[in-house]
Structures are given as structure tokens and as C-alpha cells.
Chains A and B, each alone.
Chain A
Amino acid sequence: MSTNNLSYNEQGGGAEPAVELGQESTPTASGSTAAAGLFSTDFKKNEDLKEMLESNKESLKLEAMKRIVGLIAKGKNASELFPAVVKNVASKNIELKKLVYVYLVRYAEEQQDLALLSISTFQRALKDPNQLIRASALRVLSSIRVPIIVPIMMLAIKEAATDLSPYVRKTAAHAIQKLYSLDPEQKEHLIEVIDKLLKDKSTLVAGSVVMAFEEVCPDRIDLIHKNYRKLCNLLVDVEEWGQVVIITMLTRYARTQFLSPWREDALFDENSEKAFYDSDVEKEKADSKPYMMDPDHRLLLRNTKPLLQSRNTAVVMAVAQLYWHLAPKQEVSIVTKSLVRLLRSHREVQYIVLQNIATMSIQRKGMFEPFLKSFYVRSTDATHIKTLKLEILTNLATEANISTILREFQTYVKSQDKQFAATTIQAIGRCATNISEITDTCLNGLVLLLSNRDETVVAECVVVIKKLLQTQPSQHSDIIKHMAKLLDNITVPMARASILWLIGEYCERVPKIAPDVLRKVAKSFTSEEDIVKLQTLNLAAKLYLTNSKQTKLLTQYILNLGKYDQNYDIRDRTRFLRQLIVPNEKSGALSKYAKRILLASKPAPVLESAFKDRDRFQLGTLSHTLNAKASGYLELSDWPTVAPDQSVRNVEVMEPQSLERQPSTRGSDLFAYHLLVLLCSDSDDAKEKKRPKPKLDSVSSHSKASSSSDNTASSGSESEEDTDSDSEPEQKKKKKLSSKPQVRQILSFALNCGCKMCLCVTAFQVSSPVFVPPKSHELLHRMSGKGLAVSYHFPRQPCAYSHRMVSVQLTLTNGRDQPLEDICVGEAGPPGIAIHRFATIERLQPEASITVSMGIDFNDSTQAANFQLCTKTDQFSVSIQPAVGELLMPVTMTEQDFLKEQGQLTGMNESSVTITIAPDSMSSQPVGRKVVSVANMGVVPSSQNSIHRFAAKTVSSGSLVLSSVVLQEASTAKLVVNTEKTVLGSVLLRELKTALSQG
């Protein structure tokens, strides 16, 4: 650190005069390089510590460790004891062990090789049945900053992230940051762990993992989507420190994901009340689309509000800044009371809170005006608190309350703290410029203060009066005269300079006094400060132009003095002014305009708050306090102009797909189990039996569905929660297998009364698909296909080659300048997917294209069909990934049939989700269109307007797929998909959800 490496005195306590000599540059080595006397005692101490540590007695060891910790606390070097200490890392005595940990963490970085000796102990402790020991082992292991153990740490973190104890998982979240700071290369792996821990439902973990997120990958907003609602709901129960971190993160998140709530209510802005009555504006507003707050946005505001009552000031501040940055303008003021309450807290808290209030009060006076008196200064306040309060009072000044504020200011001006009095005068000046009614009153008051005995006060008055006069110089020549008299007594350079400037600027109003003043300063010119000299030159120049008769000689004299001044600025100015005002043959055209240059009317300065530009920083941050970007500050983004997809935050009830994606063994176990369940319910032998009788197909599927739904309804929902226990799936498997005979029984029953059933169940007709514009996908790009470009689309026609196949149309285009020959399909895979190849194309002319059709049996899975596309010279591997909706064939059925079928496909075969639907799809037309564009389904006529039903069967196995959309209030809708193809169903559900919630 120390860029200015000031040496400092060894902190050995006042009793030892010897330490005064101990000056040094590297404080870590303080113990060894201090004064000789101290060094020798230290050395001796360390010797006997070593013996104590190597003794057999626990108590002696403990005593030694306590003394060593004492040394560390004082900042003395105890690193030479490392070998002796590290031996005790496996001690049974828990206090001794903890002290050894303290020591290890402190010195491991310096003694990396020796530190490695302790690693195995921690590795063993990581498997301890006691969670406290597991956690503390991980804590220490991850705190040892030895790069060589990074892989071990990584492994330990991954393991701990799945620990059963939330306390250990919390520790793992902390360890993530430590590892990241040790080795940033591990970022990708750590993000995986963060992603996993973000899904954790424990309140203990939430704060820590969000902290890790902020540290490691604050830009990976996408990891938050799925956990957003959970975090909002957990927030109240998270420990207070976690709350602060989560709230800060969610503020940033919300600014990227929601639309600005401020657009409409610009109307309610205090400054534009007139606009409210303006009919034009109103009409305009009515035309624009009304703003509707995203329910998730509202959720955040609602769930953070109770935290304003927290005893932790940091939490209250965090909520306050969240409301400031996210809430609609009229709601922000609920934070006022709580912020004012914080002013009762410690001095340091006051300081930060007042700073934030100062920024807020510039933009929104109304928020704090009722609490004006809470900002009155007390004589016991610290100086920086006083200044801030003054700042806020000035910001809050309005025509209505200015008289109260000025009266208050009058007492401050008389304060014994003269610096504070001077600041008050500045504040008065700001009030006077902002509120024109009181300018005269203020000016008179300030003039009275000019006779004050204290110089700083007078000087400040002069500066402020100068600024005020500049805003309205017309009728104040007597004040200027008064100030000219003051010049004899005031010594503060800034004030003197101000007076000189004033007289120069308005020299025509005081024609008699001005030359006299110039005479006086000419006498004292050499002993003045630079700033005064410059103003003297200015005054001389201006007087020379207006009153050269009286001042010519004086000016010459001053210019001569200036010419030989030590300061080059003054010499420069002198040279410049001489050329400008004293015309000679060499001076150019400029001197003609000298008067206009020097005596141009100058704009009055604007007295602004020092907090004016602080609002570029997020409130409550360190950067805001410093008014400078602190390292690691994360910019708060502007509101998005177009609302991002809301559905990303929807959490699915069941998602085997996502489990599959997880690399964890447990996840894949569960997925395997899911497949098993599918296989069981999809009992293959039953299918074979039924196949020859297509008419009974539906019957079998009903019975299958109903039988399996009995016992899968419960297990399906349970399986989500049981992810923690590995043994569970095994049991389920057995249960499932044992239920198989039952299935068969029911099946035979169904067969027995089959004829009866046949009468009532009609086989559903495959209907022609609803027309949707075909969506073309690229199969082979022109560049990678060496000129051959292939695209494909699903025509949604029944396949001519086999009823189990989906028909696909390929369009081949030759982009080469030579004809392509012998285009055909080569090897195909994977097994289980059958492909009907198109006939070989013998010749494709340049720039020509041809459309061929193929049939692919995807076996009702979204697995891609891979095959090779061959030309005479080349082979290209390509794959077709079907959208789930294309694996269906629409069927027609009546509403009654639909309901009946749906009733049988419940439990595990049903997946549903509540979605927020884009407002424009609330009517029936768009819903139908959207569903059909995603999935090849048939519309089932519906008797209710708010319910839309769609039916289809899978192409390959002919299983029924039903979907219904129930529109509810407030643009939400319930989306249900029923099918025994659970995987397919959940994928379809997701696709439909995305389609429907898009605008």
C-alpha cells in the first residue's frame, strides 16, 4: 500500500521511550527491527514459547498460543514459530485448535511450504460428522492463501456446496470469494457453484451466496432470474447483513429488468403541478399506453418495505436507496421518516445518512420539508455534521419557510466555531440567489456582518456579497463604497481580491473612490498575495480605460511592478494588459476593443449545492460518500426502454430437463429415475399388444394413464423435494416395479369390457393443421457447405412414408459456380431415430435450388437427428433438432371428450404453470395463433371465452397431448399441458409459456 511511505513510531505503548527510535518502513517486521532492547526481550519470549509448544502439556501449549495471539494482535512478527505451531493443528483441545487456526491464517501466506503440512488435517475434518468442525475446517482451508492448494479448495467447495448443513453451505459461499481472489482463473467453475447455491432455499445461505455473486460475477444477471422471486420472499428472514447485500443487488437487477415507473408520474413532480391542469398534456397521456408495473417489481417494493423498521441502520439505508432508485415518485417519501430516525444514531451513521439526504433533498424538497427542524444544528454536533445539516437546510429553503431558516442561520452566524459561521454565510448567499424575494434582506444582513470582529466571517461575507451584487448590481453603490472602506482592514486575500474586483467591475458607479483604492493597493502591491495582485492589475486596467486622466500614472506604475514580479502568471497578465490598453504602433486591432473586452457584462455566478452531481452514484454507496468512483463500484444502469422478457423469472414446477443439464451425480440419478417412471407407465409390452388394434389405442392409453396416475401423482410431486436423499429413488424404483402387475390387471380389465368402451370412446381424427407461415431453419450454411446451402422447415403435413414420421422439407441451393452432383443422405444416427431419405439429386445447377422432403421418426423426443449430406466430392454432417411442437399432429375432438381425456391425464401427466400474459394476447384470437404457431395442435371448440383448448397426438407413438389456457384476471393465465409423455409435456409447457408471455 503505502505510496507515501511515511515512517511511523512503533506502537509499543508510551511507557517505553526506546520505541520512539524504532522508525521503519515495513511494519510487518516490527518485532524484529524495533529498538534493540525490545528486540532482545521479544527474542527471548519466542524461545520459551517454542519450548512450551513442544511440551506435552495441553495447558502449556494453550498458554503459549494465547501469548502468540497476543503478539499477532499487537502486530508483532511471530512467524518463526510456524513449525512449532503447525504441529498442533490436529489438537483435540478445541480452543487450542482455534488459536492455531488464527495463527495459520495469519502466516500461511508467508510460509507456504510449511502450511501444506496442515492441509491433510483439514481434509480429514471436512468429513467430520460435526457441522461446526466441517465448517471451520473449510473456513481455514479456504483462508490459507497458498496457490498450490487451489484444486483442493475447489473440490472442498464443491463438496460443501451440497452439504446437508446450511451452515456449511454458507461457509462454502464465503469460500468462493476467497478462492476467487486467490485464483481468478477458477471463475467459471465458481460460477457453477454460485448458480447451485443461488437455488438454495435456506435463509442462512442466501446473503452469503449473493455476496459471492456480487464479488465474482456481478454481470451474470441471468443467474438471478429464476431465483428472483425466491430471494424477494426470503428477504425478511435473511440475517441483516445478508439483507443489505441482497437489496443492493436486487436494486441493480431491477434497473435492468423492469420498465421505469417514473414515466407516467412525471406529472406528479412537484415542479410541474401546472401540467396537471393542462388538458393537452392530459390528452397526450391518455393516448400513450398506460404504464403497468411488473408484478415482480411490485413484489420487490412490497417485500422490502417492512425492513425500513429494521434496527440495523445499513438495512434501512439500503431499503431507502432501493425506493429512491426503483419506486414510483409518489411512493418514495415513505422512507423519509425512517431516514430521519437514523439521525438519532451514532455520529458516523448521522454523517452518512445526512450525506444521502443532502443528495435526495436537491431533487425532492417535499420529502424532507416537514422534518426541517430535525436538521437544526446543535452546538455539540461535529463540524462535518454541522456542514451537512446546513447544506440540507439550504436545499430545503423555499419562499414559505425561508424566514424560519434565516432566523436559524442568524444564530449560527454567531457561533463560536468561526469556520462554521463562514459556511453559514455561504449558505445564506445560496438562499439569497435561489429565492429572489429575500436577496435584499440577506444583503443587508451580510453588510451588517461586515463589521464583525472575526476576519474569516468578514472575508466570507465579502465573497458572498460580491456574488450577490453581481446578480443585481443596479442599486447597490453604497454597499460597494462600504466595502471599499473595508479594504484598509481586511487581510484575507480572497476577500481583498473580491473587493478589488467589485470596484473594478462597477468603477463607473463609484468614480471618486475607485482611483483612491487603486492608489492604496499600488502602495502595498509588492506585499500582496498573488490573487490580490492579479485583481489589482485588473482594477488598474479597467480604471485606465474609464478614467485614464486620473489613473494613467498609477496604472503605469503598477504595470511596471507587475512586469518584474516573481510569479509568471502576473508577468503574463501584465504583458497582456499592457498590450491591450496602452495603444502603440505594435498593438493590433485588439486594443480597439479593449473596453468591450474588459468591461463586458459578466454573467452572475450560480451558487450551487456541492451535492449537485452526487446523484450520479447509487445512494448509500461508498462512491456516493466520497463523490468519486470507488474501486469495484457497479454502475446502476438506466431503465430499459423496452421491457425485457418477464417470463424468465417464472419458475417451473417440474423440470427434468434442467436436472439433466446439471453435472451433479444426484441430478442425473433423478433424471434416470424420471425416465424409469416414464418407462413403467409406458409399459412396452402393453404397447405392443395394442399396436395392431389402432382403434383401441386410446383406450389403452387411458387405462395406462389412470393406473399410473394413481401412484405417480404423489411421487411425481415428491420427487422434487427429495433431491437430498440418494436412497429414495431406489425405493421408488422398487415401488414402481411392484406396481407393474397392477397395471396389467387393469389393462386386462379394460380389455374385457373393451367392446363396451369402444362404443363410447371415439378414436380422434387427425385433422388438417392450422396454417402457420412456415419457419425455415438453417441446416447447412453456404460457407461450411462449400457452396451448398441447405435449409429445412416442417410443413406440418402427415408424412407420406410412415405415419410415425414427421415430414421435413429441405431446400437445397447451389451457391457455387459449378453444378453439384449426386446429392444424397449418407449415414444417419443416432439409433432409435429412423430417417426416410430423399431420392438422390443427380445434378444441381449453379444458383438453382430444389426442395425435397424427408421423413424422420424422432421417437417423440427432441433429440436431434444427425445424418450426413453427401455430394459427389464432399460429406457434411448435419443435424435436425425438432421443436417439440413439430412432433405433434393436430386432432379434433369435442369439448366433452377433451375434458374426459384431461381428467384421465392428471397427476404426474399434468404440468401447469401460471403465466403473465402479454396484454395484447388477452383476446381469443392471439392465444390460438400463438399456441398454434409453436405447436402443431388442433383447436378444440370451447364454450367459454376465457378458456382455450388444444389437442394433438404425438406423431411417433400417437399419445394424446392436451393443452389448455385459462385466462384469469390481471393478465395472468393458467397454462396446463396433459400428456403421458411427461418430458415432452414439460418442454412443450415451457415453449408455450414463452410464446404466450411475449408481447
Chain B
Amino acid sequence: MIHSLFLVNSSGDIFLEKHWKSVVSRSVCDYFFEAQERASEPENVPPVIPTPHHYLISVLRHRIYFVAVIQSEVPPLFVIEFLHRVVDTFQDYFGVCTEAAIKDNVVVVYELLEEMLDNGFPLATESNILKELIKPPTILRTVVNTITGSTNVGEQLPTGQLSVVPWRRTGVKYTNNEAYFDVVEEIDAIIDKSGSTITAEIQGVIDACVKLSGMPDLTLSFMNPRLLDDVSFHPCVRFKRWEAERILSFIPPDGNFRLLSYHVSSQNLVAIPVYVKHNITFREGSSQGRFELTLGPKQTMGKAVESVLVSSQLPRGVLNVNLNPSQGTYTFDPVTKLLSWDVGKINPQKLPSLKGSMSLQAGASKPDENPTINIQFKIQQMAISGLKVNRLDMYGEKYKPFKGIKYMTKAGKFQVRT
């Protein structure tokens, strides 16, 4: 399966290598660098690269390429999924997954990689199990360890590894028992020039933070489960119960995890919470272009639209812009031609706008396409699909937990064509 792993930073240096079978020379990465050179953007490096004797499968996250070396047939998604799981684990352990963080914790990284794969086949990828085997580094523990000489490495086989609920460790104890659930929905949409919706869909997730003692058995039910068209579960969710009763029944892992991701059925019309008025023109022959953009809320059920961020890739011919935002700040990078405008909150009484002119390269012809506008926003306390959690019950433990549910709507890939 996975032969070796190389971590490559954005400047093309290999800063970590790990081999699970016999050592593969790092010169194999030359093929990767070649592909990297050919690609115009970092994202354009093909995820699967064949070389005469090996295959390179890579993922790009946090501007680090994780390049796995494969020697024979294996489902590529298997490797890709695993690499992403590695990144998630690093993030979980070190808070961030950056080159510096990995270099600082190289021993923990090595211990983790050693536990995650045996002979290239995944062994333990569940964060609860890994944390029992190798405790995450904290400042306090580092200090204690240097004094007492104890280590971060567990001596016993994690109980989860053998139990029927491998995702949960036993003997969890909290003084405050609490369970929080965040229902987060994202709207993916493409809005065309005239403001009509070309495609829009809602994807949601329920992220949980469960800190409950013992072995709690939870059930979560919805007011309107029929909204959920397609779902994928954390392995802890009992599928049969869902099939029969549309109830989520599960013994939760300890800590943070993603309980459920779902897709709202496409029959339902998606409410688009913001609208954009735009007027972006380039005149033939003149070296000036006009840029006007106004944002406004719609169908937000009285909730405020916050953290609005507008970005747009302007055509190559644009040399600079001279704009005037009614609120927030804007930046324009003359090299990448990326315009971004941090709007903040939309005030329905005074709609935010960005107006001004663009200076174009003299003599260059008018760009034939107007730029696409990407919008990000957040709306608190609302799930745009209307999904509502009915109740959360706990069985199997005696104490009364504190429960909380939060709703949020975000823009996913929200694009406006102009």
C-alpha cells in the first residue's frame, strides 16, 4: 500500500520523509517537482502522477504537499483519504498544520505516523485511540515530563482498539458534563448576470463537541428529518435506527467530531440570503473601466448577514483599481489581480457598496469576460434549510448533561457571474 511519505513545502523542499517499507530514494519526488513546475497554480498539480516504478499520490493542504509513494495497484481514494486523515490528526495534535509546527514536533509526528500505518496499511486512525497511544504535546505536560521523566507514549493497548466502539476510550470523566452540537449549513450557488439562480444547493454538517463521562448513549431527533436527502455518518451512528425511525442514535466519541454531513434535497427551493448589484464595464479603446458593486440582504428571516467577504479575480489587463468602499476595506494585488473587499456586517438600511474605476493597460484590447465574484458570509442562529433539532436524550448514564444546539448558515462556493 503506502510505501513512503514525503512532505513538500510551497518552495519545493522536502522537509520530512517517512518510509514504511524499504527506503525509496527521495529523487522519486523529481517527477512531482516536474509536474509542479508545469502547473500554473499550486492546485493544478495532478493528484496522481505515474513514474516508471512508482506512483505518486499527493494532496495539498495548508500549502504543504503530502506526497505518498505507491508501488502497486491501490484505490487512489484510499490513499487520498488517508493523507487527509493524517493532516486532520496533525491539526488535532498541534492546533495548526504548518511546516513549522511539524518541524517542531517531528518526534511526535514520527510516532504518530508509525502508529497510523503498519507496512503501509492503516492501523489506527481514530483520534481517540491515537491520543491514548501518544498524548498530544502541551506545555504543561512537556514541563512535567522533563521533571518526572515520564513520557508521552502510552504503555497499554488503547481500550478502543479492541472494543466494539473503537472511537471511544473508556473511563472518561468530566466534572461538567456537556454536549454541544453545531448545525452548520453551507450554500453553494451560481448566480448569473441577471441575478437569477443557475444552481443552488445546501450542504450541512452537524459538528459535535461531547464531553460526557462514562459510556453515554445519545439519541438526537429532528423536527423535519425529511429535509435530509443524502447523509453520511460518523461510524458511531447506528444506521438501522436511522433507516427505520430517522433518529440518530449513537455512543459518541470523546471530544470534537463530525456527527453527520447531509445534503438537502434539491426539490426544495433554496433561499438565497444576499443579492449583488453590479456594473463592471470596460470600454473599447479607453484605458479606464467602471466598477460598481452593491450588496444587499434578502430572505434572511430578520437575521443579520455577517463576516461578508467579497473577492474577485480581475482580468489580466487591469493594472490597478481606484475604488471607494462605503464600509470595510478593500485590497487589490496588482500581481495576482485579486481584489478582495472585507465588508463586515450588512446593514439593511445602508447597503454596502464599492465604486470606482479601474485603470487598464494602455493599448490592450478590452477583456472579453467580466470577472466572477465570490462571496463569503455567515448568518448566525439560522439554518437556511429550516432543519431543526427536536430533542437530544441520553441513556446509559445517570447524571444530567448540559446540552446546547447552535445553528449557522455560511456561504460555501457562492459565485456571482457578471
User: A interface, by DSSP: helix, strand, loop or mixed?
Assistant: helix
Cβ of A55: which chain B residues have Cβ within 8 Å of it? none
Cβ of B16: which chain A residues have Cβ within 8 Å of it? 73-74
Cβ of B44: which chain A residues have Cβ within 8 Å of it? 382-384
- Most chain B CB within a 10 A radius of its CB, from A73, A351, A408, A633: A73
Determine how close the nearest CB of chain A comes to the CB of B73; give it in whole angstroms: 4
Q: Which of the 9-residue segments A254-262, A313-321, A773-781 touches chain B? A: A313-321
A-B CB contact pairs (8 Å), 16 listed = A1-B27, A8-B26, A14-B13, A74-B16, A98-B153, A99-B107, A131-B157, A309-B233, A314-B77, A317-B75, A341-B261, A347-B60, A348-B60, A383-B44, A621-B76, A630-B50
Cβ of B266: which chain A residues have Cβ within 8 Å of it? 370
A314:B166 contact, CB within 8 angstroms: no
- Mask, B79-112, CB within 8 Å of A = 1, is 0111010000000000000000000001101110
B60:A130 contact, CB within 8 angstroms: no
Q: Which of the 9-residue segments B170-178, B213-221, B224-232, B394-402 touches chain A? A: B224-232
A351:B369 contact, CB within 8 angstroms: no
**What 7 new A-B contacts, CB under 8 Å, besides A352-B76, A454-B368, A622-B70?**
A1-B52, A306-B239, A317-B75, A318-B75, A376-B199, A383-B41, A625-B76
B353 within 8 A of A: no
Separation of A266 and B166 alpha carbons in the complex (Å): 44
A881 within 8 A of B: no
- Given the interface pairs A1-B53, A623-B73, the reply to whether A98 lies near B114 with Cβ below 8 Å is yes
B26:A75 contact, CB within 8 angstroms: yes
- Mask, B246-266, CB within 8 Å of A = 1, is 000000000000100101001
- Given the interface pairs A347-B43, A380-B413, the reply to whether A174 lies near B107 with Cβ below 8 Å is no
Question: Which residue of chain B lies nearest to A132 when distances are taken between CB atoms in the complex?
Answer: B157
- Most chain A CB within a 10 A radius of its CB, from B55, B111, B119, B374: B119
B239:A373 contact, CB within 8 angstroms: no
Shortest 8 CB-CB contacts between residues of A and residues of B: A632-B72, A95-B151, A373-B199, A132-B157, A414-B369, A348-B47, A241-B122, A314-B77
Cβ of A240: which chain B residues have Cβ within 8 Å of it? 125, 235
Q: CB < 8 Å: which of A2, A109, A167 contacts B28?
A: A2
Q: CB < 8 Å: which of B28, B110, B123, B316 contacts A73?
A: B110
Cβ of A379: which chain B residues have Cβ within 8 Å of it? 313, 372, 374, 415
A171:B118 contact, CB within 8 angstroms: yes
Question: Which residue of chain A lies nearest to B66 when distances are taken between CB atoms in the complex?
Answer: A348
Chain A residues at the B interface, C-beta cutoff of 8 Å: 1-6, 8, 11, 13-14, 25-28, 30, 58-59, 62, 66, 69-70, 72-75, 93-96, 98-99, 101-102, 106, 109, 130-132, 135, 139, 142-143, 145, 165-167, 171, 174-175, 177-178, 181, 204, 208, 211, 236-237, 239-241, 244, 248, 306, 309-314, 316-318, 337-338, 340-341, 344, 346-349, 351-353, 370, 373-374, 376, 378-380, 382-384, 408, 411, 414-416, 452-454, 620-623, 625-626, 628, 630-634
Q: How many CB-defined contacts (below 8 Å) exist between A and B?
A: 281
A95:B313 contact, CB within 8 angstroms: no
- The residues in B between 1 and 51 inclusive whose CB is less than 8 angstroms from any CB of A are 1, 11, 13-19, 21-30, 33, 39-41, 43-44, 46-48, 50-51
B54 within 8 A of A: yes
Question: Which residue of chain A lies nearest to B24 when distances are taken between CB atoms in the complex?
Answer: A1
Cβ of A208: which chain B residues have Cβ within 8 Å of it? 121
A337:B55 contact, CB within 8 angstroms: no
B48:A625 contact, CB within 8 angstroms: yes
Separation of A62 and B142 alpha carbons in the complex (Å): 14
B75:A73 contact, CB within 8 angstroms: no
Q: CB < 8 Å: which of B47, B161, B198 contacts A352?
A: B47
Cβ of A347: which chain B residues have Cβ within 8 Å of it? 43, 47, 59-60
Count of residues in B whose CB is under 8 Å from the partner chain = 109
Q: CB < 8 Å: which of B50, B231, B261, B369 contacts A626?
A: B50
Determine how close the nearest CB of chain A comes to the CB of B412; give it in whole angstroms: 8
B23:A73 contact, CB within 8 angstroms: no
Q: CB < 8 Å: which of A3, A69, A244, A454 contacts B106?
A: A69
Q: CB < 8 Å: which of A239, A352, A376 contacts B77?
A: A352
Cβ of A453: which chain B residues have Cβ within 8 Å of it? 365, 368
B321 within 8 A of A: no
B78:A311 contact, CB within 8 angstroms: no
B235:A311 contact, CB within 8 angstroms: yes
Question: Which residue of chain A lies nearest to B156 when distances are taken between CB atoms in the complex?
Answer: A132
B78:A58 contact, CB within 8 angstroms: no
Determine how close the nearest CB of chain B comes to the CB of A383; give it in whole angstroms: 5
- Given the interface pairs A241-B122, A376-B190, the reply to whether A309 lies near B13 with Cβ below 8 Å is no
- Given the interface pairs A95-B153, A98-B111, A632-B72, the reply to whether A311 lies near B27 with Cβ below 8 Å is no
User: B interface, by DSSP: helix, strand, loop or mixed?
Assistant: mixed
Cβ of B369: which chain A residues have Cβ within 8 Å of it? 414-416
Determine how close the nearest CB of chain A comes to the CB of B240; give it in whole angstroms: 8
A411:B417 contact, CB within 8 angstroms: yes
- Given the interface pairs A94-B151, A167-B161, the reply to whether A75 lies near B72 with Cβ below 8 Å is no
B149 within 8 A of A: yes
- Given the interface pairs A167-B162, A416-B313, A416-B316, the reply to whether A621 lies near B75 with Cβ below 8 Å is yes
Chain B residues at the A interface, C-beta cutoff of 8 Å: 1, 11, 13-19, 21-30, 33, 39-41, 43-44, 46-48, 50-55, 57-61, 70-78, 80-82, 84, 106-107, 109-111, 114, 118-119, 121-123, 125, 146, 149, 151-153, 155-157, 161-162, 164, 166, 188, 190, 192, 198-199, 201, 203, 229-235, 239, 243, 258, 261, 263, 266, 313, 315-316, 365, 367-369, 371-372, 374, 413, 415, 417
Cβ of B71: which chain A residues have Cβ within 8 Å of it? 631-632
B28:A310 contact, CB within 8 angstroms: no
Q: CB < 8 Å: which of A69, A177, A313, A374 contacts B110?
A: A69
Q: CB < 8 Å: which of B1, B25, B57, B123 contacts A28?
A: B25
A349:B81 contact, CB within 8 angstroms: yes
- Most chain B CB within a 10 A radius of its CB, from A72, A93, A248, A311: A311
Determine how close the nearest CB of chain B comes to the CB of A59; give it in whole angstroms: 6
Cβ of B48: which chain A residues have Cβ within 8 Å of it? 351-352, 622, 625-626
Determine how close the nearest CB of chain B comes to the CB of A10; give it in whole angstroms: 9
Separation of A266 and B391 alpha carbons in the complex (Å): 48
A337:B156 contact, CB within 8 angstroms: no
Cβ of B149: which chain A residues have Cβ within 8 Å of it? 58-59
Determine how close the nearest CB of chain B comes to the CB of A614; give it in whole angstroms: 14
A102:B114 contact, CB within 8 angstroms: yes
- Given the interface pairs A73-B18, A241-B121, the reply to whether A135 lies near B263 with Cβ below 8 Å is no
Separation of A241 and B54 alpha carbons in the complex (Å): 22
Cβ of B119: which chain A residues have Cβ within 8 Å of it? 142-143, 174-175, 177-178
Determine how close the nearest CB of chain B comes to the CB of A852; give it in whole angstroms: 60
Determine how close the nearest CB of chain B comes to the CB of A449; give it in whole angstroms: 10
Cβ of A340: which chain B residues have Cβ within 8 Å of it? 230, 263
Separation of A26 and B24 alpha carbons in the complex (Å): 11
Separation of A740 and B29 alpha carbons in the complex (Å): 75
- Given the interface pairs A241-B122, A376-B198, A378-B190, the reply to whether A452 lies near B40 with Cβ below 8 Å is no
Separation of A990 and B230 alpha carbons in the complex (Å): 46
A383:B30 contact, CB within 8 angstroms: no
Separation of A416 and B121 alpha carbons in the complex (Å): 43
Separation of A471 and B321 alpha carbons in the complex (Å): 48
Q: CB < 8 Å: which of A5, A28, A244 contacts B75?
A: A244
B59:A346 contact, CB within 8 angstroms: yes
Separation of A340 and B76 alpha carbons in the complex (Å): 18
Determine how close the nearest CB of chain B comes to the CB of A340; give it in whole angstroms: 8
Separation of A192 and B303 alpha carbons in the complex (Å): 66
Determine how close the nearest CB of chain A comes to the CB of B155; give it in whole angstroms: 5
B118:A414 contact, CB within 8 angstroms: no
Separation of A108 and B408 alpha carbons in the complex (Å): 54
- Given the interface pairs A73-B106, A94-B151, A314-B81, the reply to whether A383 lies near B25 with Cβ below 8 Å is no
A631:B73 contact, CB within 8 angstroms: yes
Question: Which residue of chain B lies nearest to A408 when distances are taken between CB atoms in the complex?
Answer: B198
Question: Which residue of chain A lies nearest to B237 when distances are taken between CB atoms in the complex?
Answer: A309
- Given the interface pairs A314-B77, A626-B55, the reply to whether A95 lies near B152 with Cβ below 8 Å is yes
- Given the interface pairs A208-B121, A352-B47, A352-B76, the reply to whether A27 lies near B26 with Cβ below 8 Å is yes
